[in-house]
Every structure is written in C-alpha cells, then in structure tokens.
Chains A and B, each alone.
Chain A
Amino acid sequence: MIQTLFGSSDEKPEKEKRSFFDRMKQAVTRTRENLAERIDEVVSFHKEIDRDTLDDLEATLIAADLGTTTTREVLQKMREKVDRKQIGDVGELKRVLKDELLAILTTAAEKPVKSVDGEPEVILVVGVNGTGKTTTIGKLANHFRAQGKTVLLAAADTFRAAAIEQLEIWGSRTGTEVIKTKAGGDPSAVLFDALQAAKARKMDYVIVDTAGRLHNKANLMAELEKMYRTAQRIIPGAPHETLLVMDATTGQNGLQQARVFTEAAGVTGIVLTKLDGTAKGGVVVAISRELGLPVRFVGVGEKQGDLLPFNPNDFVESLFA
C-alpha cells in the first residue's frame, strides 16, 4: 500500500502530477528571493565562469541552508567539470547543479520501505518541539481517508498542554478515531492500546503522535526508544515508517536531529513542514546526502489538504522553475 503512496511519479495520473507540480511551484516560488531566481540572477549576470560565479553560487546554496559541507562538495564537482572544460558557459552550470542536487535526493528516495502483510501499518511521527507533528498527522489522516483507508490515531503526546485536544480536533475533522489517555499518562501505554485496537478492528493505518523532544535529552529519547520497542512487540515489523517532522526554517541542527532520532526511533523518512514560508528547507539535501534519508511529504499550509507527497524531481524542478 505504502509503495503506491510513496512510489515513483510515473504511476501517478498526469493530472495529479501537474497539480502537484503547480502547487510545489506555488509554495516554493512564493518568495521573492527564491533559490531559482537567485541562480538565474547569478547565471545571467556572469556570462563566463569565473571565481565570482562560483562564490555567488556558494552564497546562494548556503542561504538555502544546504550547509557548508554539502555546498562545498557540490561546488567542488562543478569546479572540476569547469576545469575539465565539461561546462563551457554559465548557463550550463544551472543544469549541472540541478542534476547534482537531484542525484542526492533521488538516491535517498530509492530506499525501500518495509512491507506490511495483513497487519495495520504503523506510522510513528517524531520530531523536536514545534515542527508541526500534530498538524502533519491531521493532514496524513486526511490523505489516507481520501484513499478510502481506515485510520486510527494514537495521542501519545501526553506531555504538552492540550496536545491531546489538538489531535482530537483533527480526528473529528477527518472522521478518525483517537485513542488517548489523560494528560501526563504513559505514552507507551497509549501506543499499546492503540495498536491492540487497530489489530482487533483490522485498521489500515495507525498514526502515532509523540511529544516534541529535543534530541539531546537522553531520558526523552529513551522514552521514544521504549515506544519503538513497544510497537515492535505488538506488531512485528512495526513501526513500518518513522517520520521525522522537520521545520523548513531549521538550520544545520537538522542534521543532528536526523542522526539522533534515527538512532533512537529508526527514522525512515522526513516530512518537511512550513515550506510555504520563505525558508528553503535545504538542510534535507544535507540529510539525504549524509544519512540517505528520503523526504516523504512536504507541508505547505495549515489546511487539511496542504500535505503533498514529496518527489525529488518536482522538488528540484520547482526550485529552478
């Protein structure tokens, strides 16, 4: 099931593909200073490739939060190609840069997803505070419901004030039941109850909301590990997907977040939220490059439908459109 959801764009109908592309474009080009325009600016300004061209490109990539390491590596490859006369003019640089970024994102996206047989598919949603986990879950529930799937939500964020109420509102908006406990309860216990209920009722999906936690808090990460183990015990192979929700405004700390959350909860993919702002979310390129983690979805607004399956091709296209 998940294969079709996260699968390659070839299988998608042409119409959906276009609307996805348009919306991505809309989301990313909303900013006046987006990466594509700035590259165009750079490209049209310098006809011949010189040191300044590469310096300007460097500034552009850094400004998009790709980080110094990724930027340096990407530009090094371009510099080599320029030296070997494989790139003749500045216009070509754009294409090469695009290909380079695409290669990084595509390799990560090819990572296989755990298969599910006959059991509810469990999606654990994790992340630091305030990235938009609960909102993303509401949108995910809407996404699956629209496909006619049955979904159960587990309110395992028992810590933050009114987190359970927030998820319940999303539950009623999307016609999805929420399994919960009282505030301050044991998150693993909620998870246990939710998975048991989902098994008994033969649900298609269980989406688990967890409390936001900073990845450097050992005890909170241990709690997450415990939840991961609890899920495994009840449904072998669960969680089938652990989504790390990351705010597009996040800087280089995103890399460390991805590392530590992967260690504790086996992150399988990223949801990049708040991409409707001016932030580019370029840190995901660094994450894909270093950890091979794919981006699964992007969040582009506060409404139910503002969650789009991620497609590396379209993502890079929209950056350059």
Chain B
Amino acid sequence: MFENLSDKLQRAFKSLRGQGTLTEENMNEALREIRVALLEADVNFKVVKELIDHIREKASGQEVMTSLSPAEMVVKVVRDELVAILGTDTAKLKFASQPPTVVLMAGLQGSGKTTTSGKLAGWLKKGGHRPMLVSVDVYRPAAREQLKVVAKAISAHLYEGSNVEANTATVERLAKEARKEAINNGCDVLIVDTAGRLHIDEQLMEEMQSLKRLLNPQEILFVADAMTGQDAVNSAKEFHDKLSLTGVVLTKMDGDARGGAALSIRNVTGQPIKFIGIGEKYDALEPFHPDRIVSRILGMGDILSLIERAEEKLDKKKSEEFARKALSGDGFSLEDFRDQLRQVKKLGSLQSIVGMLPKIGPFAQMHQVSDKVDEKQITRVEAIINSMTSYEREHHEAINGSRRKRIARGSGTSVQEVNNLLRQYAQMRKMFKSMSKPSFAKRLAGMKLPNGM
C-alpha cells in the first residue's frame, strides 16, 4: 500500500545518514523529500504543510539523543507525528443500550458502501451479533439487488421491502420498516446501505440528514476509497459537517494506492478510521491499525500483517511436516517442495510479500531482488515438478539424462532449467539437513546481524 512513500522517505533519510548533527540545511532537504512523498501519496497539501511545520519545529527543537543517529531522530519525529494524526485507537463500534443498534453507511458513489455493508454484517455475525441489512439506495439501477445477493452470500438477514419508488419518501419508509423488522426478528444491529451521493448534492444530503433524525444511528460510517486524491478533504468535511460522522472505513486498501487520504480524512473529521477493506471477498474487512500503517509509511514494514496473512492461508500441519522432514536424515522430496511452492503462492505475489518487509537492515536487498524476480518462474518450477513421475519426485537421484529430456518437454521448459532446479533442490536439501546439526546453531550465534535502524 505505502511502499512508494516508504521508498522516498528512505531516500530522504539516507541523505541524512552519516552526518553528525541535524543542521537546518540537511533537515530541509529531508523535509522537502517528505513533503513530495506525502503529496505523491495524496495527502492533502494543507495537511502536508501542517505536518511539515510540526516536524520541523519538533526536530530542530529537540536535542539529538546520543543513542540515535540524526536520521533515526527524524524518523522518530515523523512517525510520532503521523501516529498523532491517525490516532492510536483501533476499531470499535458503539452499540445501543436498547437494540437495535443502527449503523448508517454514507459516502460518494463507488466508494464501496454495499460491499462494506455486507462485510460489516459478516464481521458482526462472527462476533455473535444478529445483523440485518437494508438498502435504501432506490436510485442506482440494481443497487438493492446487489445487497440482496451479498446478504444471501453471507447468510445475513435482509429487509427487502416492496413498492419501491425512486424518491425520498420511499427511502424513509424503507428505513422505518427495516427498523421494525429488525426488532421483530430479534436482530440487534441494523446496517443501512445508502445511495452514493455527492457531498454538494443538497437534496440528497438533506435526505441523509432526515435518515439520521429518523433512525438515530449509533454509528455513521463514512466509506472512502483509499485511492482518493486531494478532494478527500472536501467530501469528508462536508459529510462530517452535515452528519457528524462517527468513523471511517477505508476501502480498496488491497490496491497499491499510497492511501494518503487516510491522513487527510482523519485530519479534517477527527474521526477514527475503524476498518479497512482489503479485498473483494466478504471476509476481507480488517480493523484499522494506525501503528502498523505508520510503520509501513516509514518503511518499517508491516510484518504483523504478513504473519497474520501467513497464519490464515498456510496449512500449519503441512508446514510442520515439511520442517520435520527437511531436518530429518531423509530430507524433503520434490513432492514436498512443490507443496511448499503452492503454499507460498497462496500468500500472494512475491512482491506483495516482500513489500510488507522493512526496507532496512537485512531486508533491504530483498526489495531490490524482488523487483527482478520473475513471478512466472515459480509457475515454471511447478510445471517441471508436475512433469515428473511420482517415483522421480521421491527419488531425485534417479532422474537421468533421458528423464530430464522428457521432463523438459513435458513442462515446456529446457533441460537446462530442469538441471538448474535439480541443482538448487539438492543444495536446499543439504542446507536444511545441516540446520538440524548442533553445529548450525553455533554458527548462527556467531553470525553478526547487520545494524538496522
């Protein structure tokens, strides 16, 4: 998400590295880089200005601690500043003392309100709630049909309503009916999906206000696209002024937008970002972790998210089995190797995995390497192993010249590539085996770790 911003900040700080003290001059250059990076990340220019002023003030006012280099010092100040804007609170929804709790979804067209409504219902269900969904988007063609399909997919309650006409009266009637229906069905949360609207559309903003009066919602969530540019402040401010938002959902965070809108929206509304949308599947909703995202912005990586993803996607039993075999005297077979490849593929592209690692210390080189790695290479290796017989996969030493030729033909590769794979496989086997010997632990302990930031 924020890789590119990380790059730039990293570069800015590099120019500071190796210099003994923070001078007005060398800090200015870093601040200029930070400014450009934040602007390119779509943080609103007014917010950027505020931010830069704060950082300048704080960095030059503070004495450089002896334990930190000037670069680390600036990183710390920037980090603290971004955390201060984003806040440290994670996702929590307010619930009504007297159910049903009403959650009103608001936002521009195409920000992802309907999908998010479904995801939120799914999230609540997991938490033991009984949510009911209702769409009061009577304007966009098939909008209500869309929510119906979503509700069915996650088996959530839906109030459909009837005699739907495209006017405010219908919107209000549907909302009232849905609330009643929620009570009758014993649903404790009612999620109201609304039509996308422009913040300058007075008539539709009034409709939103009347919905608010009618339903007295505990939560009014502003659904915003992570790709939004400078205009994010205008729409967020207008929605907040008219409706007093209680939180924000930032969607499409699985894209590669740098997401500076998060800083802008938080800054103008003062409301916390409660969730982020990270995919098209209905469980792709995560609580927002400001600290993680700030770490990411600053090139400190998002290792926590990577671990979470790994835990979710990887087959733990298989991995343990692999580790046991690899370390044992027999070593792992090509069959096991293929299983591992498939597991890694499940985590996503190599670049997205490496992107979550810090860009500093031991990981810096991996970032450079990952740009050059051909993702298709993994597919080719898999194809080569697929073209082997199961006997060959278990007994790699039996793969002679004519077998190699056959495997190359079968996988659409060359004998050379087959040779390469077999060589690498043999090396890995050896390496893993040596890891199980006590001498390896000794060697590891003796290794010097690079000095990271």
Chain A interfacial positions (CB closer than 8 Å to B): 30-31, 33, 59, 62-65, 67-68, 128-132, 135, 138, 159-163, 165-166, 168-170, 183, 214-218, 247-254, 256, 274, 276-280, 283, 302
**Does B145 contact A278, Cβ atoms closer than 8 Å?**
no
**Does A68 contact B231, Cβ atoms closer than 8 Å?**
no
- Quick one: closest A residue to B139, CB to CB? A302
Q: Confirm or deny: B375 has a beta carbon within 8 angstroms of a beta carbon on chain A.
A: yes
Chain B, 358-390, CB within 8 A of any chain A CB: 375
A131 to B225, CA, bound (A): 10
Chain B 331-359, CB within 8 Å of chain A: the 1/0 string?
00000000000000000010010000000
Chain A nearest CB from B147 CB (Å) reads 8
Q: Confirm or deny: B293 has a beta carbon within 8 angstroms of a beta carbon on chain A.
A: no
A-B contacts, CB under 8 A, total = 147
Contact (A161, B257) CB under 8 Å given A131-B110, A132-B109, A278-B200 = no
Question: Which of A67, A128, A251, A277 has the most B CB atoms < 10 Å from its CB?
Answer: A251
Additional pairs, 10, CB under 8 Å, beyond known A31-B234, A162-B148, A280-B231: A62-B39, A67-B39, A129-B112, A160-B146, A161-B147, A166-B140, A214-B256, A274-B110, A274-B198, A277-B231
**Does B111 contact A130, Cβ atoms closer than 8 Å?**
yes
Question: Do most interface residues of chain B lie in helix, strand or loop, or is the interface mixed?
Answer: loop
Which listed residue (A59, A217, A251, A254) contacts B261, Cβ 8 A? A251
Contacts of B145 in A (CB 8 A): 161-162, 165-166
**Does B255 contact A249, Cβ atoms closer than 8 Å?**
no
What are 27 A-B contacts defined by CB distance under 8 Å? A63-B44, A64-B230, A68-B40, A130-B111, A161-B145, A161-B149, A162-B142, A162-B149, A163-B146, A165-B141, A166-B146, A169-B141, A169-B142, A218-B375, A247-B225, A247-B227, A249-B228, A249-B229, A250-B227, A251-B228, A251-B230, A251-B257, A252-B229, A277-B200, A277-B231, A278-B199, A302-B140
Chain B nearest CB from A225 CB (Å) reads 13
A64 to B200, CA, bound (A): 17
Which listed residue (A64, A65, A183, A277) contacts B199, Cβ 8 A? A277
Chain B residues bordering chain A, tally (CB within 8 A): 49
Contacts of B227 in A (CB 8 A): 128, 247, 250-251, 253-254
**Does B39 contact A128, Cβ atoms closer than 8 Å?**
no
Contact (A130, B142) CB under 8 Å given A218-B375, A249-B231, A278-B231 = no
**Does B42 contact A252, Cβ atoms closer than 8 Å?**
yes
Q: Confirm or deny: B258 has a beta carbon within 8 angstroms of a beta carbon on chain A.
A: yes
Which listed residue (B112, B141, B150) contacts A166, Cβ 8 A? B141
Q: Confirm or deny: B157 has a beta carbon within 8 angstroms of a beta carbon on chain A.
A: no
Contacts of A59 in B (CB 8 A): 45
Q: Confirm or deny: B73 has a beta carbon within 8 angstroms of a beta carbon on chain A.
A: no
Contacts of B349 in A (CB 8 A): 218
